[in-house]
Structure 1
Amino acid sequence: MTVIAHETSGRLRLRLDRSSADLWTRSAARVEVVRGVKEVRLNAPCASLIVAFDGTADTRRAILKAIDEPIAADAVPPAEADGPDLAQVVMSGALMALAAVLPPPLRGPVTVLNVAGVVLRGIRAAARDGLTVEVLDAAAISLPTLRREYLTANFTRFLLDLGGYIEASTARRSDHLLRDLLQARPDTVTIETPSGEVIELPYDEVVEGARVVVGTGGRVPVDGVVAAGAAWVNASAVTGESLPVPREAGDSVLSGSVVEDGRLVIAAERVGEATTTARISRYIQEGLADPSGIQSESQKMANRRVLITLASGAGVFALTRDWRRLESVFLVDYSCAVKFGTPIAIKAAMFRAAKGGCLIKSGRSLEAVAAVDTVVFDKTGTLTHNTLEVTDIHRPAGAALDEPELLALVASLAEHTSHPVAGAVVDLAKRRHLAHIGHEEVSFLVGHGIGSTVCGRSIRIGSRHYLEEHEGIGFEGVEALIDRLAHEGKSMLFVSADGELIGVIGLRDRLRAETPAVLRRLRALGIKTVAMITGDHEAKARQIGTALGLDLVFHDQKPEDKARVVEALKAEGRTVAFVGDGVNDGPALMAAHVGIAMPRAADIARATADIVLLEDSLDAIPMLRGLATETMALIRSNFAASVAINSAIMAGAALGRLSPVATATLHNGTTIAILLRALASTGAGRARRSTPVR
């Protein structure tokens, strides 16, 4: 039962059981994905978990339920002590050599000593789980022992141990990819105090707001913003960017990045278990504990193959009465390559995805991405940035101001408001280096516009409704222009001086630069339908849809409509992925077969998504699709190869063409080759985005 050490509104500090410290990270990962949870921080030295949430009773209950749910022992990555046992390989090899040179009377006892462990494991497995690969191994090694074919029995034991060692080594290597990806956290962190003194602090004592110092060759231990200094930073281990990028005051840096040249003072924004590297670790460990559908099916298939081997051996012996053929057939185990190769391929893909900028919460999510045929994007913050851009600046005939003067005038007044339209105008004026125009105090009419006096003239800026209804401004002569801009899906800002219209400014959503290329790559990777959901009116939505070549555009959609659209597409038989970033995207992310959240997404969106992007770019999505389809194809081809090769080996064994020793050698060689092929899918460069994020 969880002990609540301290509680305030929206914050829990939970005391953890020190006897199960190896499960703490998994517990934190479970809590982090609870709807309503804003932040989770694990304080290992104090054995406590700090949870910030929305303060509701439902969320509180869900947090306590998540932390109290038992975690299966086999869901936790094995400890180092349970790794590959080279000593057992050496021991069985030594006993095999010893039995070969001993007098005949002593060979039997040495062989029994050598094979006893395999036989006992088989007996225990049969009693516990029924017919498994351990039972098959025990049968294959018992037959030659009982028939006093000691060389065959000892060599079979040696090959079983050698194959098991290589299988375990391969699996362990795939586990170590996480360590290679993230590196161990530092014991201490260099901090600059307010007085300018540089000191060393234990990693767990670093707090938000601390000024962290990282020099050449150092690894950034926090997520934050550069407060001082300049450096070339390599973030390839975290974001997949292949080249170092310059970072200076005001730029963001992620934990796990390496300073290749220079020195940075970083204002820490996220520390400890809240950093990017800690979140990656939790997501991946949580994901590895949740086997994919194909992984679960592989396990079932592997167990069925054991029965096939036993039945085939019995049939061969019934027809031939040949013990050696029976021994040979029993040494063909279809399950090994299937059982071990599939999880290794899944692990490798998840690690590659993390290097490429995606956090995948489970193997099932990876499998679902490969099956997706329809991708639905929420417009704002996903296909577009959360900002506008100026596209048109028009002056009615006879207007006194030229275009730069008009833009400078509007920007000088608009800089006093935080409205997105104002921000776009101010941004353009800054890029054109236009001078500020002096003015009197700015007045605001919320929802309509702003006004001021400039050089004795009354200036009004805002919507048509504001200027026409409140200020009595006429729009004769610009109706055709307004209709054209509206047809193009653009927003409009109107400017008047002393009761006369002097300017019309057109704006549109700023598309992400990478969006068109990303959509083309998705289609090339087999995505049949690309759709967009937006609350915009039809003309504006259609304009964006046409510009991007979208197949479906759902316009005038309220936030609660998004999930219904996804459900409707699923009802048509489509496999749907939804990409979003807002609080109101949570239901749609959950409704889709695969939910993908942008890195700046609201907490609820990240919690309900199956996949979270690490960088504010869509480039990782086609990388993810390609990786998922490649991984599923690899698993299927490995299975086909395993069945074909082992069937050929079994046929040779059944026909008496292969001795037990030859059968064991060929079978183990096949298994090892397939495992190495699965592990080789971790190739470094292929997981990276084709367009680095700057």
Structure 2
Amino acid sequence: MQKLILGRKNHITIVSAILIIIAYVSRLGFQNEPIAIWSLIIASVLGVIPIAIQAYQALRVKVVSIDVLVTIAVIGAFLIRNYEESAIVTFLFLFGAYLEQRTLNKTRSAIKELTEMAPEVALKQLKNGEFEEVAIEEVDIGDILLVKTGAKIPVDGTVLTGEGHINEASITGEAVPVSKKKDSGVYAGTILENGTIQITADRVGEDTTFGKIIELVEEAQDSKSEAERFIDRFSKYYTPAVLVLSFIVWIFSRDIELAITILVLGCPGALVIGVPVSNVAGIGNGARHGILLKGSEVISDFSRLDTMVFDKTGTLTIGNPKVADKEIYADNVYEVLGYLASVEKESDHPLAKAVVEYIGDREPFRVEKTEVVKGGGIVAHVEGHKVAVGNVALMEQENILLSEKARADIARFEKNGNSLVLTSVDGELKALMGIRDQIRPGVKDDLKKLKKLGVKNLVVLSGDNQGTVDLVARELGLTEAHGHMLPEDKATYIKELQEKGQIVAFVGDGVNDSPSLALAQIGIAMGNGTDVAIETSDVVLMNSDFSRLPHALGLTKATANNMLQNIIIAVGVVLVLLASVFFSKWMNMSIGMLVHEASILVVILNGMRLLRYKLRK
């Protein structure tokens, strides 16, 4: 019965409104007082039933809620035969609850939009080679799926055949379609705008990137911040305090109506709802802009941070080293580069891949007697020539003479932050290549925005050599730069900063970043990073888009400010109402409840402003 009544609250609100209108029409239009009084009595009884049920449910778990205050106030007004007050108070309270729920549902629209984007069916290849439409729950890892123009990608997978352009806005926030072809990765929930592709399922259901986004945002919106926990504790003691104050007023004044009015006006509704609505709206805005904030506690810490620490590779840089400088000390350039490419194809080292990519496709030479020199490079025989490819230490080990020009080039390349690849043929230096990771486009401007938002210290930590790290720091205008840092060294450095009282955020993308991401007050993972990094972080930047970082920081600051504004509005309204009871003659229960419900609507609308938040340019 309780569930049935609470499920009809909106209907009861409408009936109460109609009965109140009938009462006033009867009284003012037809001077029919009996009908007016009975209409108000029925409206009062109907209206107080769902409120009393909620009050009873709260008392069962030993909580003196707002519903308890309103129920006592309405019963008191009813007993002193103030049916007009009791009817209006119950109607306003129910109507306020309706507005509150409707507005909160709007703030949760980000989740609703995400879940509606989730694919429900897929075209799955059967054993006979034909494709059949099945429910998404019937798709397993390794299944081959067909996706046609306009359809949603049902799983995270890899393109087997076909080409097309996919709108990945649901994952990355970017509306520009991305070209996909064989071996390209695709995400569940994205839309194939043109073309036809076949994909193999790599991740299905909740394990897909899209599924994890929904799960993370839902968890974040259900979490409570420090401010919310404080308000919960405050309400626990505040509500009984209002009851006691009302009782004391009645003892000294013997004015039951005044005591009941204090009960109504002391309801902290706006205070209870103000902070959660800011939290939900802020997290919803982040989800729409490709930023996953894992809980309202993150918002509190993130908004107050003063130090941001970055991993270099894959975070400040693209993470894909390329040949940036080269010097050739031979006339037969084509042969030397051919020997170099042939040897480097024997290695899976990132520098070797960069060299092969730079030289491009060419007929490889036959490579024999390959010897990998630990920490140095590779020595091999190519077409009867002894070829050594590696660093300066390998050249010295092979007794290769380095001319003054070569040494000057080496010094210049290192100063520019390059990793060196030297090539000798039959004991003579023939080529020098400088390879370095490229800084992400736009990172410098994004770091300037972070400084304007109040980040005092920008620090880079990297396992790369100090020269390379210093070069990146100078180019980007960072505060500090530390090279030769192992994962444990990074974690130790973050601990030292925290011991100095600094609030630290760490931005990284790899498995080796996980300890630092977990240790920092705010761990920020690049969305294309490893699963471990994403799981241990507090904030995820989808599609590894660094430009989302300033928006994330600005959003958390705006959300924290919004929470504070709502607290001030809520407390201010209650204080003004209570003061009006004692120092004015015009304040009564109906006016108080009207102002009270209006304050709830004000804090909700104030919180909803965060849904439209954009970082100012």
TM-score, with length taken from structure 2: 0.88
Report the Cα distance in structure 2 between the residues aligned to 1:98 and 1:494, rounded to whole angstroms: 94
Q: Which moved more, 1:171-180 or 1:665-674?
A: 171-180
Q: Percent identity?
A: 27
Aligned amino acid, residue 667 of structure 1: H
Deviation at 1:645, TM superposition (A): 3.5
1:85 to 2:9 alignment: yes
Aligned amino acid, residue 519 of structure 1: L
Task: Tell me the equivalent position of 2:270.
Answer: 337
Task: Tell me the equivalent position of 1:516.
Answer: 444
Aligned in 2, Cα 1:91/1:453: closer, same or farther, shift over 3 Å? Answer: same
1:169 to 2:102 alignment: yes
One of 194, 206, 216 as aligned partner of 2:139: 206
Deviation at 1:386, TM superposition (A): 3.3
What does residue range 102-181 of structure 1 map to in structure 2 within 5 Å? Answer: 102-103=34-35, 106=38, 110=42, 113-114=45-46, 116-117=48-49, 118-119=51-52, 121-122=54-55, 125-126=58-59, 128-129=61-62, 131-181=64-114
User: Does the 8 Å contact 2:307/2:455 carry over to 1?
Assistant: yes
Q: Which moved more, 1:558-567 or 1:281-290?
A: 281-290
Aligned amino acid, residue 114 of structure 1: L
1:577 to 2:505 alignment: yes
Deviation at 1:348, TM superposition (A): 2.1
Task: Tell me the equivalent position of 1:426.
Answer: 356
User: Does the 8 Å contact 2:224/2:296 carry over to 1?
Assistant: yes
User: Does the 8 Å contact 1:334/1:642 carry over to 2?
Assistant: no
Report the Cα distance in structure 2 between the residues aligned to 1:285 and 1:470, rounded to whole angstroms: 60
One of 391, 397, 400 as aligned partner of 2:331: 400
User: Does the 8 Å contact 1:379/1:532 carry over to 2?
Assistant: yes
Report the Cα distance in structure 1 between the residues aligned to 2:369 and 2:38, rounded to whole angstroms: 104
Aligned amino acid, residue 110 of structure 1: I
User: Does the 8 Å contact 2:294/2:539 carry over to 1?
Assistant: yes
1:371 to 2:301 alignment: no
One of 343, 356, 371 as aligned partner of 1:444: 371
Deviation at 1:446, TM superposition (A): 3.7
Task: Tell me the equivalent position of 2:160.
Answer: 227
Deviations 1:345-387 (A, max 9, x none): 2122223222222333322122221121111112233222333
One of 414, 417, 420 as aligned partner of 1:489: 417
Deviations 1:133-186 (A, max 9, x none): 122212332332122111111111111111111112223333443121232644
Aligned Cα root-mean-square deviation (Å) = 3.2
1:349 to 2:298 alignment: no
Deviation at 1:297, TM superposition (A): 1.7
TM-score, with length taken from structure 1: 0.79
Deviation at 1:195, TM superposition (A): 5.7
SS at match of 2:543: coil
Report the Cα distance in structure 1 between the residues aligned to 2:20 and 2:256, rounded to whole angstroms: 22
Deviations 1:582-608 (A, max 9, x none): 333332222211112233444433332
Aligned in 2, Cα 1:98/1:211: closer, same or farther, shift over 3 Å? Answer: same
Aligned amino acid, residue 592 of structure 1: A
Aligned in 2, Cα 1:200/1:303: closer, same or farther, shift over 3 Å? Answer: same
Deviation at 1:672, TM superposition (A): 1.4
Deviations 1:437-466 (A, max 9, x none): 645547232433334556765433222222
Between the two proteins, the alignment pairs up a number of residues equal to 604
Aligned in 2, Cα 1:83/1:236: closer, same or farther, shift over 3 Å? Answer: farther
Task: Tell me the equivalent position of 1:386.
Answer: 319
1:598 to 2:531 alignment: no
1:667 to 2:587 alignment: no
Report the Cα distance in structure 2 between the residues aligned to 1:157 and 1:569, rounded to whole angstroms: 55
1:498 to 2:422 alignment: no
User: Does the 8 Å contact 1:190/1:213 carry over to 2?
Assistant: yes
Deviations 1:646-677 (A, max 9, x none): 43344334312233222222221221122133
Task: Tell me the equivalent position of 1:658.
Answer: 587
Task: Tell me the equivalent position of 1:640.
Answer: 568
SS at match of 2:318: strand
Task: Tell me the equivalent position of 1:468.
Answer: 396
User: Does the 8 Å contact 1:389/1:424 carry over to 2?
Assistant: yes
Deviations 1:464-491 (A, max 9, x none): 2222223544444422332333344322
Deviation at 1:572, TM superposition (A): 0.6
What does residue range 181-196 of structure 1 map to in structure 2 within 5 Å? Answer: 181-183=114-116, 185-193=118-126, 196=129
User: Does the 8 Å contact 1:367/1:628 carry over to 2?
Assistant: yes
Aligned amino acid, residue 423 of structure 2: V
SS at match of 1:484: helix
Deviation at 1:311, TM superposition (A): 6.0
Deviation at 1:574, TM superposition (A): 0.3
Aligned in 2, Cα 1:182/1:105: closer, same or farther, shift over 3 Å? Answer: closer
SS at match of 2:501: coil
Deviations 1:538-565 (A, max 9, x none): 3232222222222122322222222211
Aligned amino acid, residue 443 of structure 1: T
SS at match of 1:428: helix
Aligned amino acid, residue 586 of structure 2: R
User: Does the 8 Å contact 2:507/2:526 carry over to 1?
Assistant: yes
Aligned amino acid, residue 352 of structure 2: A
Aligned amino acid, residue 625 of structure 1: L
Aligned amino acid, residue 358 of structure 2: L
User: Does the 8 Å contact 1:375/1:576 carry over to 2?
Assistant: yes
SS at match of 2:546: coil
Report the Cα distance in structure 1 between the residues aligned to 2:37 and 2:128, rounded to whole angstroms: 83
SS at match of 2:67: helix
Task: Tell me the equivalent position of 1:682.
Answer: 611
One of 448, 455, 466 as aligned partner of 1:527: 455
Aligned amino acid, residue 483 of structure 2: H
Aligned in 2, Cα 1:461/1:126: closer, same or farther, shift over 3 Å? Answer: closer
Aligned in 2, Cα 1:129/1:656: closer, same or farther, shift over 3 Å? Answer: farther
Deviation at 1:632, TM superposition (A): 0.9
Q: Which moved more, 1:143-152 or 1:297-306?
A: 297-306
User: Does the 8 Å contact 1:516/1:548 carry over to 2?
Assistant: yes
Report the Cα distance in structure 1 between the residues aligned to 2:46 and 2:553, rounded to whole angstroms: 48
SS at match of 1:359: strand
Aligned in 2, Cα 1:458/1:80: closer, same or farther, shift over 3 Å? Answer: farther
Instruction: Name structure 1 gaps, 5 residues minimum.
Output: 1-78
Deviation at 1:521, TM superposition (A): 2.1
Aligned amino acid, residue 536 of structure 2: T
Deviation at 1:296, TM superposition (A): 1.2
SS at match of 2:601: helix
Task: Tell me the equivalent position of 2:181.
Answer: 248
Report the Cα distance in structure 1 between the residues aligned to 2:239 and 2:54, rounded to whole angstroms: 16
Deviation at 1:206, TM superposition (A): 0.9
One of 420, 435, 449 as aligned partner of 1:507: 435
SS at match of 1:372: coil
Task: Tell me the equivalent position of 2:221.
Answer: 288
Report the Cα distance in structure 2 between the residues aligned to 1:359 and 1:591, rounded to whole angstroms: 19
Task: Tell me the equivalent position of 2:29.
Answer: none
Deviation at 1:295, TM superposition (A): 1.7
Report the Cα distance in structure 1 between the residues aligned to 2:177 and 2:231, rounded to whole angstroms: 41
Deviation at 1:636, TM superposition (A): 0.9
Instruction: Name structure 2 gaps, 5 residues minimum.
Output: 27-33
Report the Cα distance in structure 2 between the residues aligned to 1:508 and 1:488, rounded to whole angstroms: 9
Report the Cα distance in structure 2 between the residues aligned to 1:527 and 1:671, rounded to whole angstroms: 34
User: Does the 8 Å contact 1:192/1:199 carry over to 2?
Assistant: yes
User: Does the 8 Å contact 2:461/2:485 carry over to 1?
Assistant: yes
Deviation at 1:644, TM superposition (A): 2.8
Report the Cα distance in structure 1 between the residues aligned to 2:355 and 2:251, rounded to whole angstroms: 87
Report the Cα distance in structure 1 between the residues aligned to 2:355 and 2:7, rounded to whole angstroms: 62
Task: Tell me the equivalent position of 1:413.
Answer: 343
